[in-house]
């Protein structure tokens, strides 16, 4: 597609959570579950700018793992549950609250990097 095309700004939340291209909103962002594509198959946007690093994992740890651990501790303290009870309650709760949010969070972070033109910081020298 031509480079002189004006793309309207799209919300990072709507494109990222759906796993769509942050520029056109139509192409796919992912190959598989969490692997980013090299570029958009619709508009050709190169995704090499994207580096969400550990952001999705950090958010999941903060907002999903902590409640899961609190649930496990509560079950243990309240009921003195044997390990097999945790196997059928705590572990599925942990998996269901930690794995599904990873993809939408990663998509949102990548789309936000594009929308806000975020890039790696560097020191500006006086002669620049």
Residue 109 lies in a domain: yes
Q: What mean pLDDT is predicted for residues 48-64?
A: 91
Residue 66 lies in a domain: yes
Residue 2 lies in a domain: no
Residue 124 lies in a domain: no
What percentage of the chain has pLDDT greater than the value 70? 96
In the three-class reduction of DSSP (H, G, I as helix; E, B as strand; rest coil), residue 21 is classed as: coil
**What pLDDT was estimated at residue 48?**
92
Residue 4 lies in a domain: no
**What pLDDT was estimated at residue 1?**
47
Residue 1 lies in a domain: no
Q: What mean pLDDT is predicted for residues 88-92?
A: 94
Q: Could you give the CA distance from residue 60 to residue 24 in angstroms, rounded to a whole number?
A: 28
Tell whether the model's pLDDT for residue 4 goes beyond 70.
Answer: no
pLDDT tens figures, 69-82: 999 999 999 999 99
Q: Could you give the CA distance from residue 29 to residue 10 in angstroms, rounded to a whole number?
A: 14
Q: Could you give the CA distance from residue 33 to residue 94 in angstroms, rounded to a whole number?
A: 18
**What pLDDT was estimated at residue 2?**
44
Residue 3 lies in a domain: no
Three-point CA angle 47, 49, 53, nearest 5°: 100
Residue 127 lies in a domain: no
In the three-class reduction of DSSP (H, G, I as helix; E, B as strand; rest coil), residue 39 is classed as: strand
Structural domains counted in the chain: 1
Q: Which domain holds residue 22?
A: 12-115
């Amino acid at each position: 597609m031509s480079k002189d095309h004006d793309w309207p700004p799209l919300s990072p939340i709507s494109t990222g959570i759906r796993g769509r291209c942050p520029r056109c909103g139509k192409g796919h962002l992912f190959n598989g579950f969490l692997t980013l594509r090299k570029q958009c198959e619709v508009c050709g946007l190169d995704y090499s700018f994207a580096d969400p690093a550990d952001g999705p994992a950090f958010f999941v740890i903060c907002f999903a793992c902590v409640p899961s651990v609190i649930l496990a501790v509560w079950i243990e303290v309240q009921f003195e549950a044997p390990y097999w009870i945790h196997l059928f309650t705590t572990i599925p709760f942990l998996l269901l609250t930690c794995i599904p949010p990873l993809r939408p969070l990663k998509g949102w972070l990548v789309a936000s990097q594009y929308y806000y033109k975020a890039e790696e910081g560097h020191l500006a020298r006086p002669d620049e």
